[in-house]
Each structure stands twice: as structure tokens, then as C-alpha cells.
Amino acid sequence: MHKLFDLSGRSALVTGANTGLGQAIAIALAEAGADIVAAGRSDSSETAARVHAAGRRFHAVQADLSQQAQLAGVVDQALTAFGRLDILVNNAGIIRRADAIDVTEEDWDAVVGTNLKSLFFLSQATACHMLANGGGKIINVASLLSFQGGIRVPAYAASKSGVAGLTHALANEWAARGINVNAIAPGYFATNNTAALRADTERAPQILARIPAGRWGQADDLAGAAVFLASAASDYVHGAVLPVDGGWLAR
């Protein structure tokens, strides 16, 4: 059974792997045997150290993932680093909180551009390689707000709903050609993105009271889902959006 989840000899490109959920996913894939390419603007030395501690190779690509012109180069650098690209994890994302009446065009474009547009074009660039080399695994990081509307995050909710729809659409096109496209939908996790929310003395207790597991998620809680969707164990799973939410959606 363990061979189903073994990623030995595979290479994974993980965006936004410097901290939080992306870092936890990168480390989980490394512990399962994959070499890791981390792409983003921030320093990823901590992730590199932990990947090396797992006995795997690590390569950092400095790139502004909101710039479409840089995305093909990210894939090229990943291929140059390890000679292959088997797994893409589209984790990088941003959030801007404001009442819908106050959202600016700049904030809307920044959130939708990073969370949805760049995700598509990086997937497209990666798929060009995967389709020519027998397939691969693409894992998108969606959200509970792929299913719900949230509060004071209209651009984020729109982008993450788009991520779910795009996951289905790409799976429909690429499943028969050897590429599995699926998504993980994290619930409320203790990360940098939720620091302000967790500090909100009104909202934070309301959120916690609705989570059946009785706690906010920790980044490591995504490890199993990520390894599953990256491995042979999920070879017949296409277009799934897997909630990892402590039971939030069950309430």
C-alpha cells in the first residue's frame, strides 16, 4: 500500500512555498520522496532546509507569479533544475478584506489576477510539458469560499469559486490525456492570511464555534490530502475539490 503514496523520483513545483500552507505541502511531498521547486517572491530558505532534512533536493525560483510573462520561465527553470516536472501545486494566493461597496478596481484585479488568472496560465505552461511526457498531477488550492460567499472578501470569494470551476474544466480536458487536475479546499487555518481574522474578537469566536473539530486548522493538516492527490493513489480522481475544513461544510 505504501507504494501508492511513494513520490520517489518525482519533481514538484509548489508556488508560495515559503511559509504556511505552501510550505507544509512542499515538505509533505518531499517527505513522500519528491524533489521540490519553490516559486515565488519571498525567501524560501526555511523550506529549503526542511526539504533537505527530508533527504530531497530543493531549488528556488524567484518570480512574481502575478506577471503572466514570467510563468513559462518558471516552468522552464523547474525543468532545468531536475529534468522533469511531475507535480504542480498552485498554492500562491492573496486576500484583500473590505466591504464590497469599498473594493477598488486595483484590489479586485490583484486578487483575481494572482489567485485565478496566474493559476490558469501556470497550469497551461505546465500542461504543455506534461502532455508531451505522459501526464502528471496538478493540485490547485481552492478554499471554503469556493462553496460559500464569505464576508468582506468578494474578490477572494470570486477567485476561489473560479478555481473550483477551472479545476473541473481542466480535468474534463486533460483527464484522458494523463493529467489529474484536482483541488484542496482548506477551511479556516492558522496562517498569515488569517492573522487579522483570528485577532477579531467578534468573528474569531464565531468561526471557532462552527468548526466541529473544535480548532483552527494547522498547516500540517493538509499533508495527507496533498500527498494523496500527488500520488498514484489518486490516479482515478479527476476534478475533485476536497475540503479539509474540520467539518465546517458539514454544519
How do the domains of the chain map onto residue ranges?
2-243
CATH number of 2-243: 3.40.50.720
C-alpha to C-alpha distance for 90 and 50, rounded to whole angstroms: 20
Which residues on adjacent β-strands are paired with residue 58?
A: 36
Q: Which of 58, 82, 156, 228 is catalytic?
A: 156
* Exposure on the CB side of residue 193, measured as CA atoms within 13 A: 22
- 236 in active site: no
pTM of this structure: 0.97
Give the pLDDT of residue 194: 87
CB atoms within 10 A of CB 148: 13
C-alpha to C-alpha distance for 45 and 32, rounded to whole angstroms: 20
DSSP 155-218: HHHHHHHHHHHHHHHHHHHHGGGTEEEEEEEE-SB-SGGGHHHHT-TTHHHHHHHH-TTSS-B-
Mean pLDDT in each 10-residue stretch from start to end of the chain (251 residues)?
92 96 98 98 96 98 92 96 97 95 98 97 97 97 97 96 98 98 97 88 95 97 98 98 98 91
87-90 vs 136-141, strand pairing mode = parallel
Sheet of strand 87-90, all strands in order from the earlier edge strand to the far edge: 58-62, 35-40, 11-15, 87-90, 136-141, 179-186, 241-244
Burial class (CB within 10 angstroms; exposed 0-12, middle 13-18, buried 19+) of 212:
exposed
Give the pLDDT of residue 178: 98
